[in-house]
Structure 1
């Protein structure tokens, strides 16, 4: 399995490593304004490419294993970890964090916080498709039996992004493996690890009310932050997004 990985910064400070989990259809380079912004504030950042983006995975296991390895590599070095997830990445990051919380490991390293950036925070046994009542969304197209294509993305993903930036992005999105959307969540990290949910109030992909509902689930260890932004605040308001993430990690901005 090929693992494309983008490394931002080096872990030469006491700051935790941010392991970033992309959303569906998106490769890490599309998040460059966010990842570069975190780098400039001297956070080490690891942003693996998910096999399901451009792939035909039958389930989310390959995605989970990639993120789980990234967490394990940092923990083995005694590093604290923050798992930052966007959209579908919330499903993957939650599952990957199982067994790696600092509280469980009782060592110098471990996951200290989960950050859901307009991301799916699902309970165990639920899939993304369960949340949609097993109805594909109108902006999904099926070019083959194994993959979804996202269309009308300028209105769904990038409704508040400068058109000069947003319009070319649809061509940069990859196909997305269908099977991962059927995978049942295996671990609800937000019940066991301190978590932040960043609600994007103008989101056309995951409506605000759905985000707020996930952030208020029984048993959740959430604090909630709000951004006046669409589904891609890393493009429309990148520095405000960075500042909100820093606040979530309890670093003064």
Structure 2
């Protein structure tokens, strides 16, 4: 295994309403240090009706499609889940940690997981929607349709980017996208103990 293959792979799982391009500066910084960076676009975030009905399980599939070949090749992975991205990431790592794979005689796996402003899992067995009294607590910055939650772009700076320079916010806001409504109704879980 060459030196680059001995470095961990960085997996970045973006938050709701975002796409990997919103993390390009972070991705580039890791790449400049020689890391392989994976940042799959989640199925539940996008610009058209292809996201309608997409759940966290569709997002887990996207994560697995991006990372499992590296893990199966013996690579260690450092995963970063931002906001909503922490939810499908938590499911995606189950069964694929270094310790779990070692028990099966396999090498590679998730070695570290970093959560950045993660969406809270409030109580096992209830959804975020139920935990919020069966209504959406954040309509000041997004609408709610039958299938998705489109952002109110004029409110995004206040909701997400209040401490960001306006010139940077002006680059970040236009490519924000819609979010499928389905992930907010997933039942929370407790990760399996290894």
The verdict on a shared fold, with TM-score over 0.5 as the criterion, is yes
Deviations 1:198-221 (A, max 9, x none): xxxxxxxxxxxxxxxxxxxxxxxx
Counterpart position of 2:12: 20
Counterpart position of 1:134: 134
Whether 1:67 aligns to 2:60 is no
Counterpart position of 1:76: 72
Instruction: Name which one, 1 or 2, has greater alpha-carbon Rg.
Output: 2
> For the Cα contact (< 8 Å) 2:5–2:75, is it kept in 1?
no
> For the Cα contact (< 8 Å) 2:38–2:67, is it kept in 1?
no
Instruction: Describe how 1:77-156 pairs up with structure 2 within 5 A.
Output: 77-106=73-102, 107-122=106-121, 124-136=124-136, 137=138, 138-142=140-144, 144-151=145-152, 152-156=155-159
Q: Distance in 2 between matches of 1:131 and 1:33?
A: 34
> For the Cα contact (< 8 Å) 1:85–1:117, is it kept in 2?
yes
Q: Distance in 1 between matches of 2:11 and 2:83?
A: 15
> For the Cα contact (< 8 Å) 1:68–1:96, is it kept in 2?
yes
Q: Distance in 2 between matches of 1:120 and 1:170?
A: 20
Deviations 1:12-69 (A, max 9, x none): 2421111111101101011101111111222211000011112112422111111123
Q: Distance in 2 between matches of 1:169 and 1:39?
A: 21
Higher RCO (CA < 8 A, seq sep 6+): 2
Distance 1:129 1:104, change over 3 A: same
> For the Cα contact (< 8 Å) 1:64–1:93, is it kept in 2?
yes
TM-score relative to the length of structure 1: 0.66
User: Which of 166, 170, 174 in structure 2 is aligned with 1:171?
Assistant: 174
Gaps of 5+ in 2: none
Counterpart position of 1:31: 23
Distance 1:62 1:42, change over 3 A: same
Deviations 1:108-161 (A, max 9, x none): 20111111011125264343324433331132212x311101221101111111
Q: Name the Cα RMSD after superposition.
A: 2.1
Gaps of 5+ in 1: 1-10, 193-253
Counterpart position of 1:212: none
Aligned length in residues: 181
Q: Distance in 1 between matches of 2:130 and 2:34?
A: 39
User: Which of 38, 42, 49 in structure 2 is aligned with 1:50?
Assistant: 42
> For the Cα contact (< 8 Å) 2:4–2:35, is it kept in 1?
no
The structure with more helix, counted as a fraction of residues: 2
> For the Cα contact (< 8 Å) 2:10–2:77, is it kept in 1?
yes
